[in-house]
Amino acid sequence: MKPGAADGHHNIPLSEATRVWARIAALSFGGPAGQIAVMHRLLVEEKRWIGEERFLHALNYCMLLPGPEAQQLAIYIGWLLHRTKGGLIAGILFVLPGFLAILGLSYIYVLLGHAPLIEGLFFGLKAAVLAIVMQAVVRVGSRALKNNVMRGIAAAAFVAIFFLGAPFPLIVLAAGLAGFIGGRSGLAAFQGGGGHGPAGGDVVHDRDTALGEQLPDHARPHPGWSLRISAVLLLLWLGPVLALFLTLGPDNVFTHIASFFSQMAVVTFGGAYAVLAYVAQEAVGSFGWLRPGEMLDGLGMAETTPGPLIMVTQFVGFLAAFRDSGVLHPLLAATLGAILTTWVTFVPCFLWIFAGAPFIERLRGNPALSGALKAITAAVVGVILNLAIWFAIHTLFGKVQRIGGVDLPLLSSVNIPALLLSIGAMVAMFRFRIGVLSVLAACAALGAAYILIA
């Protein structure tokens, strides 16, 4: 084993790193847990470019940020190894395959979506997605709800969003504030953190890796560089938003897309499943860009393609522009809507990393921030449970009635084939531990067979 660098320098060519980041992007299925596991296996265990301690410290920092933590972790490590250029390559490659795949599937969806085969495939995918979201409730809940305080926060978040219609950003802020105060006060319930950390295997220490234990010179705090890079990224992010507002007006669909998903980029703590509840609430209920079943179709696309699950927002932007294209051809408008949505969703991720990563040593072991993260993660469990119920109502029942401000299903409208397929998917995942991609493929095939026969 080669000794690690003593001064933070290494001999890893950027070309080799680019090939590794492309490999990671092609294998980035399974949500953040799977994506982070792939990065850990390749970067820590196989390549030994960085060590366990540095990997987990970077992950903890990314968990404190809004947005997809797996992509932000890729940006962070790419920047750590090869400066700004390395971070840009890692971050762009992480989302590019998923963007192209979902764009292609979106074309098929709007052009052939009513063909029996395509309709059947998405019918089956919806049942599998419902099982996947239920698995996320269990997985995140088992990690986050370690005591009664955390369970209380999760219950309060569920009541707030399901019965009271509280906005997702407000729930995140309230939970974060409670956790910050609890952690700073030293309360035992708020100690520790959460995350999708790797487990098992021999520990690869920083001293035994290519980067070594010391920070590279460019990774040390430099306020001047941080201000310059922040200004550039803010202009790239918010410049198009302002330009659309000034040229097309506040009521244009592209202006709505740019402003809404820019807002989402700031408040999307807790991972993709939590964000989906917020997006569904606004995109379906407030803007009317798509129907509830179509939100499930989009999530099915994101689950079956590489990249962050939050790429489902690209499908939302695609449909929004497709249905309100104005003077543009609908497919051209839809393509521009997908590009715009992806741009304002992911450019902020580069901002959070490039501006803040050099200062993360100040966050190590900070009890207040750790408590805030733990409380937000607990609240996210309640939000994901709300999402699971919302999906179930709109997947398994043909009619929904609103009573007392709450959507409730009409029991007589239950869709028996969808119910049986969802139960089968849950049994496969919970009882037999069958992988997500296998369950998605099986449900899609069964759904297609059912529609074609029926």
Give the whole-angstrom CA distance, residue 173 versus residue 69. Answer: 18
Q: Give residues with Cβ within 8 angstroms of 83, minimum separation 6.
A: 218
First to last CA, the chain: 61
3-state secondary structure 60-125: HHHHCCCCCHHHHHHHHHHHHHHHHHHHHHHHHHHHHHHHHHHHHHHHHHHHHCCCHHHHHHHHHH
318 in any annotated domain: yes
46 in any annotated domain: no
Enter the tokens of residue 349: 């991720």
| Amino acid code (one letter) for 67 | G
Give the whole-angstrom CA distance, residue 276 versus residue 309. Answer: 9
235 in any annotated domain: yes
What's phi and psi for 8, nearest 5 deg? 85, 0
Strand partners, 397: 414
- In Å, what is the CA distance from 235 to each residue of 238, 344, 346? 5, 11, 14
Give the whole-angstrom CA distance, residue 127 versus residue 222. Answer: 50
| Amino acid code (one letter) for 369 | L
pLDDT recorded at residue 1:
42
What number of other Cβ atoms are within 10 A of residue 8's Cβ? 17
Residue with tokens 């390559």: 89
Query: Residue 130: which domain range?
Result: 118-192+222-453
- Torsion 154-155-156-157 (CA) sign: positive
H helix and E strand count, the chain: 16, 2
Query: Nearest-5° angle of CA 247, CA 102, CA 35?
Result: 115
What is the value of pTM for the model shown? 0.76
Strand partners, 6: none
- In Å, what is the CA distance from 411 to each residue of 85, 194, 232, 293, 400? 56, 38, 54, 18, 9
- Torsion 78-81-82-83 (CA) sign: positive
407 in any annotated domain: yes
On whether the CB atoms of residues 337 and 283 are closer than 8 A, the answer is no
Number of independent structural domains in the chain: 1
Mean per-residue pLDDT pooled into runs of 10, the chain (454 residues): 53 93 82 76 89 79 81 94 94 94 94 82 83 80 86 94 82 89 91 54 75 75 85 96 96 96 82 71 88 83 83 94 95 98 96 86 69 82 82 84 83 93 93 86 92 86
pLDDT recorded at residue 361:
55
165 in any annotated domain: yes
27 in any annotated domain: no
Q: Is 252 helix (H, G, I), strand (E, B) or coil?
A: coil
31 in any annotated domain: no
21 in any annotated domain: no
DSSP letter (8 states) at residue 46: I
What number of other Cβ atoms are within 10 A of residue 199's Cβ? 7
C-alpha dihedral over 83, 347, 126, 133, to 10 degrees?
A: 70
